[in-house]
Structure 1
Amino acid sequence: MHVVYGGTFDPVHHGHLRLALEVSECLGNVPVSLMPCHIPPHRGETGATAEQRLRLLELAIAGEPELRIDDRELQRGGASYTADTLRQLRSELGVDVPLTIVLGTDAFAGLDRWKEWQQIPELAHIIVVQRPGIILNPEGEPARLLAKSAVDSASALHGCAAGRVLELNPPWLDISATGIRDRISLGQSPRYLAPDSVLAEIQHMGLYGACPAKNF
């Protein structure tokens, strides 16, 4: 089983990390690869550069054996499209290895607006992480995909290479990267929202309006 959890990670925080561990444990302690995108096609520019976001991720997962980093989208450059990444992974893994991507309900709800979205369930399983307040349009393509492909246990994802959708409802940490950036830009403390090592590096690099000479 190969598991990918993508995002901007701008910056990475405890919500990202806790979710990645929940997914790992749900699947039987399978390693989860955090994959920062280069240029997100569905949002504006990031607050930190690709290199800076990667550095923060490296600090965040230090010492955690079940979390890894896959920086292929940063190395590839240009806009980061999930279908392209999954094709590359599938070519490396072969046709029989289960491949799984992790999406929040909000992202899954807009899946039919993604480039070549129909290819995604052909290439990988999807874990849909429930987010409070997000309801799928019952007439939309994502809801139809869920109805057709849903399974009720993580073990079902190990049984074939792709095509199944598992809904996961882990404990939810209501932390957002936007909220962290806003707090920093306003001179407020972001402590306990992200690992201390990450916050120290944000301060050292002066990211998001942080003052390097002032402690959080």
Structure 2
Amino acid sequence: MVVRGFFGGTFDPIHDGHTQALTALTQCIAVDQWHLLPAAVPPHRAQPAASAQHRLAMVDIVCQQHAGWIADDWELQQQGPSYTANTLQQRRQQFPQDALLFVIGMDSLLSLDSWYNWQQLTELAHLVVLPRPGYSIRTMSATIEAFVTAHRCQANDLQRSRHGGVWLADIPQFDVSATAIRKQLAQRQFANLPLQAGVIDYIRQQQLYQNL
């Protein structure tokens, strides 16, 4: 069975926290292809500082360095907020026989019941939950706890079925702040940034994040 992973975010900009997390996940689970999905209009956070075109270009620069990673512009082509349920519904139709994994952070899991059609997500894909600094499974609401208990699985279960599981990934926490990165870039400070060299070059060439 083909296993496809989907990793969404604003990627404003894409940084080492993103790439390190995906690399760590790939060491735990055999994923044939990772789709990195820049969000067009994220419904749960402030709007991106860089345009969709620039964010996709930076994601593509990173993906070119990793076999099996692709910059996926599907959400950028849609109108309105980037709802995960809609994205996964389309991908389930596109890849009906594949196992689909959708990556979220522990912070997102704790507020999952505020998402659009959130209970439909495991009918379309497995959820892979990344640990995040400052967020603990012990603070789950009763609603989320019941949901996780009903769907919780292990890493090797993700390749045996097409959807239905929630895996709490046992990987290190990568504490990288995109907000801090943008502040440093606004001051034209490029040293010691947790960004790939090609992304830094692109930001310099396009003069991004100067007017924050």
Is TM more than 0.5 here?
yes
Structure 1 residues 29 and 83, CA gap change in structure 2 (3 angstroms): closer
1:10-21 matches, within 5 Å, as 10-21=12-23
Which residue type is aligned with residue 170 of structure 2? Answer: N
Structure 1 residues 54 and 133, CA gap change in structure 2 (3 angstroms): same
Q: Decide whether the 8 Å contact of 1:191 with 1:199 is kept in 2.
A: no
1:93-104 matches, within 5 Å, as 93-94=95-96, 96-104=97-105
Structure-2 residue corresponding to 1:49: 51
How far apart are the structure 2 equivalents of 1:25 and 1:62? Answer: 19
**Structure 2 residue matching 1:208: 3-state secondary structure:** coil
* Per-residue deviation, 1:29: 4.6
Give 1:149's match in structure 2, choosing from 151, 170, 193. Answer: 151
How far apart are the structure 1 equivalents of 2:204 and 2:103? Answer: 30
Cα deviation digits, residues 15-37 of structure 1 (max 9, x gap): 10111122222212532111111
Which residue type is aligned with residue 133 of structure 1? Answer: G
How far apart are the structure 1 equivalents of 2:93 and 2:53? Answer: 26
Structure-2 residue corresponding to 1:9: 11
Cα deviation digits, residues 90-119 of structure 1 (max 9, x gap): 11111x421110011011111110011111
Which residue type is aligned with residue 122 of structure 1? Answer: E
Structure-2 residue corresponding to 1:123: 124
How far apart are the structure 1 equivalents of 2:98 and 2:188? Answer: 47
Q: Decide whether the 8 Å contact of 1:41 with 1:81 is kept in 2.
A: yes
Structure-2 residue corresponding to 1:107: 108
* Per-residue deviation, 1:85: 0.5
TM-score when normalising by structure 2: 0.92
Structure-2 residue corresponding to 1:86: 88
How far apart are the structure 1 equivalents of 2:70 and 2:26? Answer: 11
Q: Decide whether the 8 Å contact of 1:3 with 1:99 is kept in 2.
A: yes
How far apart are the structure 1 equivalents of 2:190 and 2:65? Answer: 25
Q: Give the number of aligned pairs.
A: 208
TM-score when normalising by structure 1: 0.90
Q: Could you tell me which runs of 5 or more consecutive residues in structure 2 were left unpaired when the two chains were aligned.
A: none
How far apart are the structure 1 equivalents of 2:140 and 2:188? Answer: 43
